[in-house]
Amino acid sequence: MTDPFARPGKIIAIHLSYASRADQRGRRPAHPSYFFKAPSSVAASGGVVERPAGTELLAFEGEIALIIGDPARRVSLEDAWSHVASVTAANDLGLYDLRANDKGSNVRSKGGDGFTPLGPALIDARTVDPAGLRVRTWVNGELRQDDTSAGLIFPLAQFVADLSQHFTLETGDVILTGTPAGSSVIVPGDVVEVEVDAPDAPGAPTSGRLITTVTQGDVPFDGSLGSVPSVDDLQRTEAWGSREDAGLEPKTALLSPDLRAKLERAPTAGLSSQLRKRGQHSCFIDGVAANIPGTKIVGTARTLRFIPAREDLFARHGGGYNAQKRLFDAVGDGEVIVIEARGDATTGTLGDILALRAKTRGAAGVVTDGGVRDFDEVTRIGLPVFSHGPHPSVLGRKHVPWELDVTIGCGGAAVQPGDIIVGDGDGVVVVPPHLAEEVVDATLAQEEEDTWIAAQVEAGHPVDGLFPMNAQWRAKYEAER
């Protein structure tokens, strides 16, 4: 199978199959979906793959490959594995520069010569548990992927049974079973190694290391013959695995438990004052109020941008699995969804179903400078939402959900993914991550001082010289402190 001239009749690949990859992409399929790869894309271990001239996003995908033995047509799930003769390693290489042009078919983005290395050795499928296979990928000796078939959303046998409903799987056909999280971009000079093994099976059988070296091509695509490579930030994010890895956003650390606890104690009024002292004068999201009185939210921002409604754009971007739904499916524990609605409160920017999804995902809350549908039900669900208030109208009346995890403007404040969002009864502030520790420590120190001043006022002292403290009062405060 690793001889590039001993080509399989069909190569069928799975779009999205591992839970780790689905979580990374923010979407989990209900059923497997497939695409074909050209048999001429098969290559042997030790070969090279060319990154075509004028492209930048060649990505590796380490995978478990199934080699069909006895032909399979309308086989049951229970019988399907008996039609698999062998298992080996595969690298389902793809060129994201052509992905948008292919519109899901992957004919050009995945079908290039050398884009399906297989091997080097075959594992007898009869000797292994299909749920006990492991796939690992290294780039230049660094481990990038490490997952097992137990992490699949669908069992391996299901691919065989499902595909056999539609056509005959013939002897030698190859099924590429999807890649786990960790796939990313490779560049000329990189060496990619993929290994599939069954560490718990007798003898721990292995495919050995499937080795592919990336080279740079020098022949550009001819635009007079068809579409040419093109990339945007979405393709860069998908290829690299995240906006941060693609260099589109600064890398941000998760809030440490200590920092989160301090931010929980810090009022937004105090944070705003300390930010202004440090030259941050546009840190406040104006005009929003909490749906749950007394609520406090702290978390890192995930952003969503709506553009003004336009019927043709809404037809293409408003339906299906749009940017709004993708973000609410992907928001993580302790994160805050921040929505740019251009201050237009005359339509809802979320409703009860999406609020329930965000609550289930562990989101800390939502901030929107637009309206909220199903306002009472969203409140009952218990998701803190800071907004311009309720409005019954649907999204498409004023907005098109356009993109997620980009820099946005919300209530007059610029918000980047990873910014720290703090909201309370006074409103919502945006704290740049690099200032967070300094600002929150200063805020809590000021709160301690203000509490002491309040006690003096309550005891009957006038505020003159006390608020702010003159030297005499300062000395007394420091002595008692």
Give me the count of residues in the chain.
481
| CA 9 centroid distance within chain | 35
Which conformational region is residue 231 in: left (phi greater than 0), alpha (psi within -120 to 50 degrees), or beta?
beta
| 353 in a known ligand binding site | yes
| 129 in a known ligand binding site | no
| CA 54 centroid distance within chain | 27
Residue 409 contacts residue 415 (beta carbons within 8 Å): yes
Which residues, 6+ apart, have CB-to-CB distance to 188 below 8 Å? 51, 214, 215, 216
Q: Where are the alpha helices (DSSP H) in 342-466?
A: 352-361, 375-381, 436-458
**CA pair distance 160, 436, nearest whole angstrom:** 52
**How many Cβ atoms are within 10 Å of 144's Cβ, its own excluded?**
21
**How many Cβ atoms are within 10 Å of 53's Cβ, its own excluded?**
12
User: What tokens does 249 get?
Assistant: 């956003």
Considering only CA atoms, which of 206, 59, 51, 50 is closest in space to residue 122?
206
**How many Cβ atoms are within 10 Å of 340's Cβ, its own excluded?**
24
| 374 in a known ligand binding site | yes
What is the Cα gyration radius of the chain?
Answer: 28
| 275 in a known ligand binding site | no
**CA pair distance 296, 83, nearest whole angstrom:** 57
**CA pair distance 47, 288, nearest whole angstrom:** 59
| 362 in a known ligand binding site | no
| 153 in a known ligand binding site | no
State the residue for tokens 């403007």: 409
As annotated, the binding site includes 351-354, 373-374
As annotated, the binding site for substrate includes 351-354, 373
As annotated, the binding site for Mg(2+) includes 374
